Amino acid sequence: MLSLNRTAKIVAVLFVTNLVGGCAMAVANHISATPTASATPTTIYQSAPLTGVQYAQGTNAFLAGPVVMGKIDNSPEARPQLGLSKTDVVIDEMVEGGLTRFLAIWHSNLPTQFGPIRSVRPMDPDLATAFGGIINYSGGQAPFVAAMKATGIYNADETSEVGKGTMTRVTNRVAPHNLFVNAQIQQSKHLDLSAPKQFFNFSPENETSMAGVMGKPVIDVKAKFPAATALWTWNGSAFMRTQDGKPLTDALDGKQLSAQNVVVLRVAVDRSYRDPRYGFVPKTLLEGTGKGQVFSDGKVIDVVWTKTTANSYVQLAATNGQEVTLAPGNTWFELVPSDVGSVTVDYKAAMSKAPAASPKATK
């Protein structure tokens, strides 16, 4: 027969054993119930073909659609234009009287509306064909319109777009500067058209663009036409546009237009076409080869441009033959006539290293 003290000891041992075993089982159950950490999913990016800007796959529906282009008026009466701050590419070209108009190209960042649009010019088919998609304009000389329609691009004018909700005559501007394009609606009606091919090679960052690595620092560059002057000034993060002495702003938000890349090309002009009413209509010749400059990251490099056919993009090579890499972002082209235009670059003064201070004599 067990004594009382021995019985108490046995009970205590059994209690402790059960308590420890229960805690161990609880810990084991807790560990097994805790979910294991899953691997972080890898984000897949896609590059906008005309800007090189990266988007997480599936986050930018515009990239699957075609470009929407517009022949944009650049007369004083048309300013400020609407939607130019959202362009992927803009081409500034000379028209009659030495004025300029823009061939503006939207793809990765379509505004709700842009304009005002004006008539087509003889060089526009050669400039627009490689981008494909849709071209918007408000009529033009019969041979120029015929040439544009022959490109195979979808041609949109006020007549073709009636009842589709894709063009609007706004009431807050005076004709002929009041025809605007409802860009997002228009692209959504032509998703059967292909997205554009990649335009240039783009670096991951401004600093790694070819001009950023190899270029000479600049303050600004001025592209002067007979009756229009574009000034691009580097502000530390982008080139800001001044048109004919005044900041060129966007009616969308009132902000000054900017570009990550400014490409200035010297071009020949064909003046063989004479209109009975308006006289000679200049045609910029952007086929063949010529000289130019590329401005990115506040710096400039000299380039040679080549364009073999209307169906091909213009190619840019450094003077050593290496293909140019642009900064990611939008690009503006200045097609400056070699005979009646000029280009002036203000270079940033080299920072001279200050001489080290001589140590003072101690007493």
CATH classification of 54-188 is 3.50.90.10, yes or no?
yes
H/E stretch holding 231 reads strand 228-234
Which residue is listed with tokens 């400020």? Answer: 80
pLDDT tens digits, 330-343: 999 999 999 999 99
Mean pLDDT on 198-210: 97
Mean pLDDT on 349-353: 65
Distance (Å, whole) CA 118 – CA 137: 5
DSSP 3-state helix, strand, coil percentages of the chain (rounded to 5)? 20, 35, 45
Residue 130 reports pLDDT greater than 50: yes
Query: pLDDT class for 194, splitting at 50, 70, 90?
Result: very high
CATH number belonging to domain 201-347: 3.50.90.10
pLDDT tens digits, 226-265: 999 999 999 999 999 999 999 999 999 999 999 999 999 9
Mean pLDDT on 61-84: 97
Check: CB of residue 62 under 8 Å from CB of residue 110.
yes
* pLDDT score of 128: 97
Closest CA to 172 of 307, 80, 284, 266: 80
Distance (Å, whole) CA 306 – CA 265: 10
Check: CB of residue 57 under 8 Å from CB of residue 46.
yes
Which pair of structure tokens corresponds to residue 251?
């009616």
Residue 18 reports pLDDT greater than 70: no
Residue 9 reports pLDDT greater than 50: no
Q: Is 313 exposed, middle or buried (0-12, 13-18, 19+ CB in 10 A)?
A: middle
pLDDT tens digits, 79-96: 999 999 999 999 999 999
Boundaries of every domain in the chain: 54-188, 201-347
Residue 220 or residue 28, greater confidence:
220
Residue 23 reports pLDDT greater than 70: no
Residue 318 reports pLDDT greater than 70: yes
* pLDDT score of 351: 60
